[in-house]
Amino acid sequence: MTVSASALAYSPDAASGAAPALLAVRQVRLTDFRNYRQLRLDCGGEPVVLVGPNGAGKTNLLEALSFLAPGRGLRRARLDEVTRRPDGSAWAVAATLDTPEGRLAIGTGLEPGRSEASLPRRVVRIDGRPAASQTALGQHVAAVWLTPQLDRLFLDGAGERRRFLDRLVTALHPEHAGDVAAYEHALRQRARLLAEGNRDPHWFTALEDTMARHGVALAANRADTVQRLDAAARLGVGPFPRAALAMAGEVDGWIAAMAALDAEDRLRAALSASRLRDAEAGTTSTGPHRSDLAVRHLDLDLPAAEGSTGQQKALLVSIALAHARLVTLSRGRPPLLLLDEIAAHLDAERRAALFEEVVALGVQSWMTGTDAELFKPLAGRAQVLRVADGAVVES
């Protein structure tokens, strides 16, 4: 696949005509994943279009690919929910990828416990070697997705926007997923102790120290990503709207105003002082779990939530494309872009612009749809596959 150098005019390498480094799934294998008993799919480096009726398994395949990056996948499902087996037992996703460092094999899935008393667990292997945790995936794969459920991102609660943002952050800061997991685990443990009426200061001091260290780290990574993404999103992409992004929250204000160690001390003190109040309220009142992502439609000079459904969808696509540019430039490789039912709700001009941007960036985008006609502009530039009842064939 050739890549247009003009599409990378923002890149220092553009003058020499250098194409972005490749990240592409060349083979994916599924075992007992959702409605797939066994699947082996060989791919080129070009975009992939999955066409088929609703319920055929198109989104299931995107979900499998999303497990190649850290996290719970694009549906945020429990590990025992994605297996094809009725007993909720093992499943596996394996892939061979082209990366700037060469071919890479990644495998992940749910394995039975090693004894009758132990629970099944997710395992990760990279080039055949066990990884300490799924966080290691972020060193190799960045994946960002848009699904129909995200069409309400600007209308739903702040938690949905934080989760969306944290995926964008992890693509630029692979360690971010570990900070989020550690912070949220300590947050849950503190809430449990408060609910039980535990007043042992040693437990709280240890948990609040963990929350302060990881909470400030994740807030700093969010701030860095949003600042850089704001600059990219303000440029816009073709007919897609320009966007402005900013973090809104108490801890975010501290990050902007003081050194990280000072912000940690302030968060520790705030958590300690709020124990009684938090116990009575049943929630932790201070921390980056209270932050929000504020998005503005610059062309209309409106908060994103006040735009029409179509305007919000276009704004979301614009942010995703700006992020793909940013990741390509920052990490020397594009992310995997997983776009579920993306074409049906865009007009012809924006569909064509989306396809052109995907091809120009060298992003291996996986797109799904029920109507193959909508993807006609990609003829000869994408691998088109038909999905039916857990089987995938060349269209």
Tell me the pLDDT tens digit for each residue of 245-301: 999 999 999 999 999 999 999 999 999 999 999 999 999 999 999 999 999 999 999
- Return the sign of the alpha-carbon dihedral for residues 252, 258, 261, 262: negative
φ, ψ for residue 63, nearest 5 deg: -60, -40
φ, ψ for residue 185, nearest 5 deg: -65, -45
Domain 1-142+333-395 in this protein, CATH class:
alpha beta
How far apart CA 104 and CA 98 sit, in angstroms, is 6
Domain with CATH 1.20.1050.90 in the chain: 154-331
Q: Helix, strand or coil for residue 394? A: strand
How far apart CA 214 and CA 264 sit, in angstroms, is 9
Domain with CATH 3.40.50.300 in the chain: 1-142+333-395
Q: If residue 246 lies in a helix (H) or strand (E), which one and from where to where?
A: strand 243-248
What would the mean pLDDT of 196-219 be, rounded to a whole number? 95
Taking each helix axis as running N to C, give the angle between helix 250-257 and helix 260-273, from 0 to 180 degrees, rounded to the nearest 10. 150
Q: Please report where in the chains the tokens 């088109």 appear, as a residue.
A: 384
Contact 319, 245 (CB under 8 A): yes
Pick the closest to residue 330 from 172, 167, 140 (CA basis).
Answer: 172
How far apart CA 235 and CA 298 sit, in angstroms, is 10
Tokens of 81: 């929910």
Q: What is the predicted pLDDT for the residue at 116? A: 59
Cα–Cα distance list, 182 to 176, 179, 207, 327 (Å): 10, 5, 10, 24
- Residue with more model confidence, 2 or 316: 316
Neighbours of 287 (CB within 10 A): 25
pTM higher than 0.85 for the full model?
Answer: yes
Q: What is the predicted pLDDT for the residue at 114? A: 65
Q: Which amino acid is at 181?
A: A
Between CA 173 and CA 176, with CA 175 as vertex, the angle to 5 degrees is: 70
Strands 121-126 and 292-297 come out as: unpaired
Tell me the pLDDT tens digit for each residue of 294-333: 999 999 999 999 999 999 999 999 999 999 999 999 988 8
How far apart CA 369 and CA 295 sit, in angstroms, is 28
Alpha-carbon Rg for the chain in angstroms: 22
Q: What is the predicted pLDDT for the residue at 7? A: 29
CATH H superfamily, domain 154-331: RecF/RecN/SMC, N-terminal domain (1.20.1050.90)
**pLDDT higher than threshold 90 for residue 192:** yes
Taking each helix axis as running N to C, give the angle between helix 309-331 and helix 348-361, from 0 to 180 degrees, rounded to the nearest 10. 10
**pLDDT higher than threshold 50 for residue 204:** yes
How far apart CA 243 and CA 168 sit, in angstroms, is 15
Q: Please report where in the chains the tokens 């809430």 appear, as a residue.
A: 191
**pLDDT higher than threshold 70 for residue 216:** yes
> Above pLDDT 90, what percent of the chain?
79
Q: What is the predicted pLDDT for the residue at 85? A: 84
